[in-house]
Structure 1
Amino acid sequence: MAGWGEFTLAMALFAGSHFLPRLGGLRGRMIARLGRGRYFVLYGLVSLAILIWLIDAAGRAPHVELWPQTAEARWIPSLAMPVALLLAVLGMGIDQPHTPGARPNASFDADRPGLAAITRHPLLIALGLWAGAHLAPNGDLAHVILFGGFAAMSLAAIALFEARARRREGPAFFDNSAILSLRPLARRAWWRANGRPLAIRGALAAVAWLALLHAHPLLFGVSPMPR
């Protein structure tokens, strides 16, 4: 199977892998059978495999250019991806229950908001940053659908999680956290409370970025380096 058919099938499977487990209590039954940790490891590996296939299928779809690729535009994902990976690593296990990646039984502490003081949705912001940054140098129709769809999905998911939080949380939650704010980085108290875990996860994000930088040509058939 090639062309638009493969790309459409990959898109459908990726969307289905995220929505089908929520139907009929399927996810709950699988967690009960496999255990929470094993379920999410398996789910993450399957999602990653489908995502790699989806990106690869977009590259094999018929080329319909909407705007040309430029050397300047290739710098955008190169500069954005270290930030996106840092947000993704920081978002794993966040103590903010109304977002993807929250640790099990997470509860928000207004006196110690942690990363939520900068962003309540680090994984979704990372997804939007990844997608938006890759949209700039990939102006063919298939990649515009791919990356534009992921960017729109991240914004829609933020809106949905924010609406759920407003139904369940009081003013202290929103007064001590933010959708996106850099103001906490200027406060010494925030760094004293969060500097060490930030440094550890920052190192992990750097390793992930270097690994992805070298694996990108193998996985997706193109170097991420500007040229």
Structure 2
Amino acid sequence: MTWAGFAAVFTLFFVSHSIPVRPGIKSWFTAWIGARGFGIGYSALSLAMLTLLIWSAGEAPHVQLWPQLGWHRHAAHMGMLAVCLILALSIGRPNPFSFGGAHDECFDPTRPGIVRWTRHPILLALAIWAGVHLLPNGDLAHVLLFGVLGSFALAGRRLIDHRKRQALGAGRWSALDTARKAAPRVHSPRSWPALVSRLLIGLGLFVFLLHVHATVIGVAAL
């Protein structure tokens, strides 16, 4: 694959992520297939485009910037364990501040869970994923890939904050955020079994990714 082809896939990746979530287009899709259908479809599209982008980085011309050292993979493993746990603790739980949540009307700012630490746990997971993958992938194409995606995740927080303020109303958003920050950083969960289940799911996801990395990405993680 040429650099032009890699750039074309990168452009297609961002177009496929930005156009469907524009308010008018998202409303049309939501009315057609429902909010749940849109969420499933958008997630599937995002995963497919991310897989294509990672593959294209591996096919781009190889320009080495730094060598891979032994500790790079260990750091990536620890980072990915954190990513999997963050995802398991955040997806499908109430979070009116960001995406990936569910039943946001049930959000309790006095017991915000992982949202106490960050309004955007999924974007944090994406930023960590990108950061730890920079270490063992020191060629130019992968540095561009993970550097841009990590920066995109960090910059996306402000954009989502802006959209959520508009959707909730500035007063409501600020009140929820103030209450969230006032909550204890660590508090007892509503359900210990649910917390343990989520942690086990996160660990299971980590083990699963270790084993399928070679098949899906083409490079063994171990």
TM-score of Structure 1 vs Structure 2, range by shorter chain: 0.7 to 0.9
Which SS does the other structure have where 1:156 is aligned?
A: helix
- Indicate the residue corresponding to 1:214 in structure 2: 211
| CA pair 194-14 structure 1, distance change in 2 beyond 3 A | farther
Alignment of 1:178-217 (within 5 A): 184-185=185-186, 190-193=187-190, 195-217=192-214
Q: Is the 8 A contact 1:66 1:140 kept in 2?
A: yes
For the aligned residue pairs, the C-alpha RMSD in angstroms reads: 2.3
- Indicate the residue corresponding to 2:97 in structure 1: 98
Alignment of 1:4-153 (within 5 A): 4-23=3-22, 25-106=24-105, 108-153=107-152
Taking the aligned partners of 2:112 and 2:22, their CA distance within structure 1 comes to: 33
Give the length in aligned residue pairs.
Answer: 217
Q: Is the 8 A contact 2:95 2:107 kept in 1?
A: yes
Name the TM-score, length of structure 2 as normaliser: 0.87
Name the TM-score, length of structure 1 as normaliser: 0.85
Instruction: Show structure 1 runs of 4+ deviating over 4 A.
Output: 162-166
| CA pair 24-125 structure 1, distance change in 2 beyond 3 A | closer
Taking the aligned partners of 2:14 and 2:176, their CA distance within structure 1 comes to: 35
- Indicate the residue corresponding to 1:174 in structure 2: 178
User: For residue 151 of structure 1, what is the amino acid of its counterpart?
Assistant: G
TM-superposed CA distance for 1:140, in Å, is: 0.8
| CA pair 221-63 structure 1, distance change in 2 beyond 3 A | same
Taking the aligned partners of 1:125 and 1:155, their CA distance within structure 2 comes to: 7
Taking the aligned partners of 2:89 and 2:129, their CA distance within structure 1 comes to: 15
TM-superposed CA distance for 1:114, in Å, is: 2.4
Q: Is the 8 A contact 2:116 2:180 kept in 1?
A: yes
Q: Is the 8 A contact 1:114 1:194 kept in 2?
A: no
TM-superposed CA distance for 1:123, in Å, is: 0.3
Taking the aligned partners of 1:95 and 1:137, their CA distance within structure 2 comes to: 35
Q: Give CA-to-partner distance per residue, 1:147-191, whole Å, 9 cap, x none.
A: 00111011111233345559442356235339xx9x734xxxx13
Taking the aligned partners of 2:219 and 2:150, their CA distance within structure 1 comes to: 21
TM-superposed CA distance for 1:71, in Å, is: 1.2
User: For residue 82 of structure 2, what is the amino acid of its counterpart?
Assistant: V
Taking the aligned partners of 1:25 and 1:194, their CA distance within structure 2 comes to: 38
Which SS does the other structure have where 2:190 is aligned?
A: helix
| CA pair 147-197 structure 1, distance change in 2 beyond 3 A | same
TM-superposed CA distance for 1:109, in Å, is: 2.5
| CA pair 192-97 structure 1, distance change in 2 beyond 3 A | closer
Structure 1: unaligned runs, 5 residues or longer? none
Q: Give CA-to-partner distance per residue, 1:87-139, whole Å, 9 cap, x none.
A: 11222133221212122544642322222123221101100110000011111
Taking the aligned partners of 2:195 and 2:120, their CA distance within structure 1 comes to: 16
Q: Is the 8 A contact 2:189 2:195 kept in 1?
A: no
TM-superposed CA distance for 1:143, in Å, is: 0.5
Q: Is the 8 A contact 1:94 1:106 kept in 2?
A: no
